[in-house]
């Protein structure tokens, strides 16, 4: 008789499946977008314009303006992978570290995203483990990407202005913020009482 009463207790509520799936889907979608933004920023790599110089993760460029008959000005760039020519002490070595850390951040986020997606294909303890580990990898990606951005900013601080940073730099900045946001949301979503 007691077992029947417990089984039919109207106070026991089922978890809101729609809300759980919706929140997890948003986290996965935002993580995917941040991976795309970060990948574009790393592949392009031109992050800072300072006068007639462009500093990037992969190249240093000198910009020249030439008079053209078709348009008012044509901008040509002389780019080199020899970053010592930029005249900044230690630029080559520090940028190798910077781009390595940011590239590893993208790789970590990709694996984290894969685990987040795979956790939705299974149930129970395995799903929870995959989700937790994926969330940690996305959070690790945020830490590494922030370290890479900070290294780039400190290294080229004397040349940096707010409007000197290019669109791809701001893509990486946004991706770093999204890595943190999605990693923290993914870690704490399992602790919300309504979703467990």
pLDDT, tens digit, for every residue of 168-188? 999 999 999 999 999 999 888
Is 73 a residue whose pLDDT tops 50? no
Q: Is the pLDDT of residue 57 over 70?
A: yes
What's residue 65's pLDDT? Answer: 62
pTM for the whole structure: 0.78
pLDDT band at 54 (very low <50, low <70, confident <90, very high): confident
Domain positions in the chain are 16-48+90-191
Q: How far is CA 182 from CA 22, 30, 111, 136, 142, in A?
A: 14, 7, 14, 10, 9
Residue 158 has pLDDT above 60, yes or no: yes
So what's the pLDDT on residue 80? Answer: 74
Say which CATH topology domain 16-48+90-191 has. Butyryl-CoA Dehydrogenase, subunit A; domain 3 (1.20.140)
């Amino acid at each position: 008789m007691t077992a029947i009463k417990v089984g039919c207790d109207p106070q026991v509520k089922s978890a809101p499946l729609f809300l759980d799936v919706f929140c997890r889907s948003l986290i996965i979608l935002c993580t995917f977008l941040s991976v795309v933004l970060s990948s574009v920023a790393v592949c392009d790599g031109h992050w800072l314009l300072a006068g007639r110089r462009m500093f990037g993760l992969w190249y240093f460029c000198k910009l020249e303006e030439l008079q053209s008959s078709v348009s008012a000005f044509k901008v040509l760039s002389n780019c080199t992978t020899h970053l010592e020519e930029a005249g900044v002490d230690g630029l080559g070595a520090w940028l190798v570290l910077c781009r390595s850390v940011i590239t590893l951040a993208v790789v970590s986020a990709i694996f984290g995203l894969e685990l987040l997606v795979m956790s939705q294909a299974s149930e129970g303890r395995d799903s929870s483990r995959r989700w937790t580990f994926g969330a940690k990898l996305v959070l690790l990606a945020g830490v590494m990407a922030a370290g890479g951005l900070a290294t780039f900013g400190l290294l080229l601080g004397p040349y940096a202005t707010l409007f000197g940073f290019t669109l791809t730099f701001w893509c990486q900045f946004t991706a770093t913020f999204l890595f943190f946001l999605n990693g923290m949301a993914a870690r704490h979503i399992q602790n919300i009482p309504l979703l467990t």
